[in-house]
Amino acid sequence: MRVLLTGCAGFIGMHCALRLLARGDEVLGADNLSPYYSVALKEERLRQLEAERGFRFERVDLADAGACERLFQAARPERVLHLAAQPGVRYSLENPSSYIQSNLVAFANLLEACRRHAPRHLVYASSSSVYGANAKLPWSETDNVDHPISLYAATKKANELMAHVYSHLHGLPASGLRYFTVYGPWGRPDMSPMLFARAIVEGRPIQVFNHGDMRRDFTYIDDAVEATLRVLDLPPTGAPPHRVLNVGNHQPVALLEYIALLERALGKQALKEMKPMQPGDVPATYADTRALQAAVGFAPATPLAAGLARFAAWFKSYHHP
């Protein structure tokens, strides 16, 4: 099938594109190559994709409505996998306008293009951040998420509401995926696996927030891709045809245990610098994945030790050949 994949030079985007191409789908990848983090890394991901048959790339800023419409006219997509976004909780404190443009204006343009071109299914990235400081664990899709504690989380909750409206008014089949801390090879350099690994290898201290009293539901990239593509292949059929699903490992791990596993995988101990909790952060994340399992017959389950071992092998070959 023809898939329009936005954010194709991103971490999850690249891996999803590779899997789609491997199974024979045609992928038009779109990305604006934002300088939020290393453009060189994004270009290297793109080179992995451009070596594959069936892939085309367009450099597009979806916040430009005309450019977004032209992209849809060129792609004529049967499915849309929208992973383009401005990520990061902490950066939303520094540069809020980038979140408004990339996560709200661009998403509105994408929804309008979907209304006009009527793909069979839109799958878009939401985030576990929408749960805010909810004390009830694990987090379920039926929980109240009306109290975000970062602008990033607010934009992702807004995406879910906007997609619901277009499903209700225009019958657009749409699925939002609340990803929980996805990690693995080719990961984002602003996230802890890459930040920690680089610091450990180079002998620099790592910042351990909330003095290590945190737990995270880490999701290995291959599991995130499997869940994403299974959802993409199975549009919702309800009224309206819209749903949100958690994509997490359902196995929260203590921050200090996670660091110990990464140390073991890299073969070197970390220097730890204990820090207070950061604004907009939460002490624990924990995904209830029963709805995902029921919808597509799959839920992530890769143990963190196994995933970090694969990540560390890639990291050592990529950054320190």
Residues with a catalytic annotation lie at 152
Tokens matching residue 238: 């309800």
d(CA 289, CA 169): 28
Dihedral Cα 2, 114, 141, 250, nearest 10 deg: 30
- Cα 184 to chain center, whole Å? 12
- DSSP character for 287? B
Q: How is 46-115 classified by DSSP, letter by letter?
A: HHHHHTSTTEEEEE--TTSHHHHHHHHHHH--SEEEE------TTHHHH-HHHHIIIIIIHHHHHHHHHH
d(CA 217, CA 67): 37
Tokens matching residue 170: 């225009």
How distant, in Å, are the alpha carbons of 14, 22, 196, 307 from that of 226?
A: 13, 13, 26, 15
How distant, in Å, are the alpha carbons of 98, 107, 265 from that of 101?
A: 5, 9, 39
Please answer whether residues 298 and 292 qualify as being in contact, where contact means their C-beta atoms are separated by less than 8 angstroms. Answer: yes
- DSSP character for 269? P
